[in-house]
Amino acid sequence: MLQQIRGPHAPVALEQLIDFDRPAFKMVDNSSDVFSLLKKICTLQEERAYTYRMFEEGHKIYLSTAPNYDFPTFRELVREVTQEFKRISEGVMDIERRLRMDCAAPHLADFVVALQEEEKVKLELTAKLQLAKQNLLENPEEQNNQTDVVSMKRRLNEAIERINENLVELKYEMNDL
C-alpha cells in the first residue's frame, strides 16, 4: 500500500518512514544467556528509537498539511507505529520473563520492567505533545497552548532521562558479565 503524506513538502510514502524490512526488525533469536538477552534489549531499544523518529517525522509532515490535515494517512502511520511498538514491547517483556524465570536474574528483570514502564510514559507524553503542538498551531494566540507544549517537552525529557538511566544500568550489568 503506497499512501503518501501530502503537503507543501515533497510527498513522503509511509514505506519511506518505516522500513519494516530493515534487518533489526527481523530479529529472531532464542538465546537464553544473560548477555545475549541484555544485548537484545539494546537492539529492541534501537528499534524503538528508530520507530519514534519515524513517528515524529510523520507528525511533522501531518502538521505541515494544516489546515486541511491529511488525517487518514497519519492514522495509517499511527496504526503501523502502534503495531511496531507492540511487537517491541512484547519482545522486551519476553526477555524480562526469561531473565526472571530462566536465568534467575530478577534484579535485571526489574530494570527491564522499569524501562518498559518509562517507555509507556514516554509514549503517552509523546502523544500528548503531538496534540499540544497541533493545538498551538491552530490557536497560537492561546498562552495555555504554548505552556502545554513547554510542559510536555519538559516531562518528555525527564522520561527520556529515566529511560537512559535504566539503559546505562543494563549496560553496566553487561560489562560485568
Are the beta carbons of 77 and 5 closer than 8 angstroms? yes
Q: Residue 67: pLDDT above 70? A: yes
Please give the DSSP secondary-structure letter assigned to residue 9: S
Q: Nearest to residue 27, comparing CAs of 3, 47, 56?
A: 47
Mean pLDDT to the nearest integer, 131-147: 93
Specify burial of residue 63 (Cβ count, 10 A radius: 0-12, 13-18, 19+). Answer: middle
What is residue 97's predicted lDDT score, i.e. its pLDDT?
97
- Report the distance separating Cα 162 and Cα 140, nearest Å: 31
Please, what is the average pLDDT of the chain?
A: 85
Please give the DSSP secondary-structure letter assigned to residue 12: E
Are the beta carbons of 61 and 8 closer than 8 angstroms? no
Mean pLDDT to the nearest integer, 28-57: 88
Please give the DSSP secondary-structure letter assigned to residue 33: S
The CATH fold assigned to 31-176 is A middle domain of Talin 1 (1.20.1420)
Every domain of the chain and the residues it spans? 31-176
Are the beta carbons of 70 and 141 closer than 8 angstroms? no
Q: What are phi and psi of 9, to 5 degrees?
A: -90, 170
95: region left, alpha or beta (phi > 0 left; psi from -120 to 50 alpha) = alpha
Confidence of residue 7 (pLDDT cuts 50, 70, 90): very low
Confidence of residue 57 (pLDDT cuts 50, 70, 90): very high
- Report the distance separating Cα 154 and Cα 78, nearest Å: 23
pTM for this entry: 0.79
What is residue 6's predicted lDDT score, i.e. its pLDDT?
36
- Report the distance separating Cα 41 and Cα 163, nearest Å: 12
